[in-house]
Every structure is written in C-alpha cells, then in structure tokens.
Amino acid sequence: MDCENRLNTLTTVALAFTIFLSTLVLMTPISSAQEPPAMKLSVTVTGNASADGTGFFFAPDEIPIAATPILVNLTFVNQDFITLSKHNFTTEIGGVFYQTPLLDPGAAGSVEFWVNETGTFPYWCSVPGHRALGMEGNFVVGVPAPGEEDVDIPMKLTLRIEGGGNPDGSLFLEPDQVSIASAPIRVRVVFIHNDTVSPNVPHNFRTEIDDVGYQTPDILFGEEAAVEFWINETGRYPYWCAVLGHRDIGMEGEFIVGELAAEEEAVRGIALRAYWIGLIGIFSMIGVIVVAYAVIKSESRHHTDHREHKRGGLP
C-alpha cells in the first residue's frame, strides 16, 4: 500500500512538473534560428510562342532585382496554345540549377531559390532548340535604375508585370500576386502589354496606396510603361487594369506586404513549441518510469528478504 502511495505521489509530481515546463515554453517568445528574408519576391513568368509559331519567348524576359539577398519564388505558366509545345523554366544560380517540370500548355509549376549576389543570371527553356528560338531571359540583380546610382534607398523592389489575353476572351495580369516581406519599401513596376490575342486593345496598370492612385499610361502590344510608389505599411493592396471592363474579366492582382512572412514565423513558432513540449513529456515519462522501477524494486518482497539476509550475514 505504501509503495502504491509513493507511485501515485511520484506520478502527480511528474505531471505537475511537465505542465509547469510546458506552460513556460508556451509563454516564452519564440525567436527562430533563421531571420525572415530581407526581401522575398514572388513572380510569375509565362512561356509562349510567336504569332506565326516560328519562335518562342518568356514574358517577362528580364526581371530587375534591386538588392540581395533575396528569396525568389517563381511560378512558370505554359501559355503556348499556338504550337501546343511543352516548356519549362530553368536557371542557374551560384552553380546550382533550378528547374520546373516540363509542362503542357495551360499547366503551371513553381521553383524557389536564393539569389545572394549581384549580377546577371540567365533563365531559359531547356527543351532542345527552344532557347535558340528565343525562349530565354535574365535576372538583373543589383543594378540601380537610371539616375539612381548614387541614391541610398533602404529597400527597393523592381518588378515587371505583364498584361495579356486568353483565347477564351478573359484577361490577366502576371504575376497576379506579389509577396513582399516587409515595409516600408519603394516599388517600381514596369508594365508590359503582351496581349497577343487582342494586340490593338490598350491596357494599363493601376494601384492605390493609402488612397493615392498610381497609374501608367495606356499602351499597346509590345510597349512598356513604368510607375513608382512607396508602400509604408503591411497589408494587401490590389492592382488592376483601369481600362473600362478589363478588371471585371480578370485583369487584376494583389500586393501582399508583410502578412506571409508573419504567418510563416507563426507556423515556425508553433512547431518549435510543440517540439519542446514533446521533449519535455518524453523525458518526464522516462524519469517517472525509472523512479517507479526503483521504488517497486526497493519495496518488493524478494529485495526486502535479500536485504534482511545481508543484515543477518546470510548469502
């Protein structure tokens, strides 16, 4: 009976100790081992064929990035409904190749990589012959915009957004989502008209930040226009084509500033807390088992008789 009481007391103490340590872990702020990236860029690149089907191209074929290090999440979409060819996206960063799967028309694939150095890094379609027919482009990293060579900008993001049309008559902006890790940040958008379906229909780019509108002029197929603005707070900021009716049929997107980084940090914190609580529980149970074994052994009849024999000088 005394042994049973000891075990009950020991179990209660171990359980209380486990709950106490788990509460401390839950209340302790989590600092992840890796700081969130200084900048994260989510960008979409489309692959297509020329109108006569004799060549291929990427849109955009140049992606300027102002500063490093930067984590790039790239989505490649095969929009080649002219030749119905399979395509992919391939790049080489720091001697390492990154590549999406080979994709059928209408399919999309993603690849993620770090860019840690300035310079020009090419990307291309690795299907034999496609690069030679024009399916290539470049990341241009760390090159300031003209006139800004001597200007100290804490953080600036330059990106290209393409406007185009689908065979079913709908319109699109690519990328339709741009993730930015933190604010404030200065953003320069280069808008490209790449509507091969309706090349004579004008498009533009517009966004509103803190109730102030920023918009490019209307442009036609093959033309580019740029606009710059500051984003000073985290949140979601829509962008769209302001030509009447175009937004309603798909020509819109969204800047997501700060939210994804915060969500990722929260997920890492939850996982880390669960890991420590699990370890505490495991070691507490091991301690209970070891001590319980010692108590049971010390109180067992065989062990008691053996101690009495020793006291009496018997083997």
Residues 6 and 149 in one domain: no
Number of domains in the chain: 2
In a domain, 35, yes or no: no
**pLDDT for res 18:** 61
Q: Tell me, yes or no, whether 166 lies in a domain.
A: yes
Residue 19 lies in a domain: yes
Q: What pLDDT digit, counting tens, does each position of 32-88 carry? A: 444 444 567 788 899 999 888 899 999 989 888 877 788 888 999 999 999 999 999
Identify the pLDDT of residue 300.
Answer: 59
The region of weakest confidence among 107-111, 207-211, 265-269, 271-275 is: 265-269
pTM of the complete model: 0.45
Residues 242, 187 share a domain = yes
* Residue 191, domain member (yes or no): yes
CATH number at residue 56: 2.60.40.420
Distance between CA atoms of 295 and 242, rounded to whole angstroms? 79
On whether both 123 and 227 belong to a single domain, the answer is yes
- Residues 91 and 222 grouped into a single domain: yes
Q: Which residues constitute the domain of residue 64?
A: 40-264
Same structural domain, 141 and 112: yes
Does one domain contain both 120 and 233? Answer: yes
Average pLDDT, the chain: 79
Three-state SS sequence of the chain: CHHHHHHHHHHHHHHHHHHHHHHHHHHCCCCCCCCCCCCEEEEEEEEEECCCCCCEEEECCEEEECCCCEEEEEEEEECCCCCCCCECCEEEECCEEEECCCECCCCEEEEEEEECCCEEEEEECCCCCCCCCCCEEEEEECCCCCCCCCCCCCCEEEEEEEEEECCCCCEEEECCEEEECCCCEEEEEEEEECCCCCCCCCECCEEEECCEEEECCCECCCCEEEEEEEECCCEEEEEECCCCCCHHHCCEEEEEECHHHHHHHHHHHHHHHHHHHHHHHHHHHHHHHHHHHHHHHHHCHHHHHHHHHHHCCCC
The answer to whether residue 208 sits within a structural domain is yes
Q: Are both 75 and 206 inside the same structural domain? A: yes
Residue 188 lies in a domain: yes
Tell whether 180 and 109 lie within a shared domain: yes
Q: Which residues pair with 96 in a beta bridge?
A: 93
Nearest of 268, 95, 265, 250 to residue 163 by alpha carbon: 250
Segment 113-138 mean pLDDT: 93
Lowest mean pLDDT, pick from 67-81, 122-136, 211-225, 266-280 = 266-280
260 and 271 fall within a common domain: no
Please check whether residues 271 and 241 belong to one and the same domain: no
Give yes or no for residue 95 having a pLDDT over 50: yes
pLDDT in tens, 194-235: 998 999 999 999 999 888 889 999 999 989 888 888 888 889
| Whether 239 and 292 share a structural domain | no
Q: What is the distance between the terminal CA atoms of the chain, rounded to a whole angstrom?
A: 28
Note whether residue 180 is domain-resident: yes
Lookup: tokens for 289: 């088992």
Domain-terminating residue out of 232, 247, 264: 264
One domain, residues 69 and 191:
yes
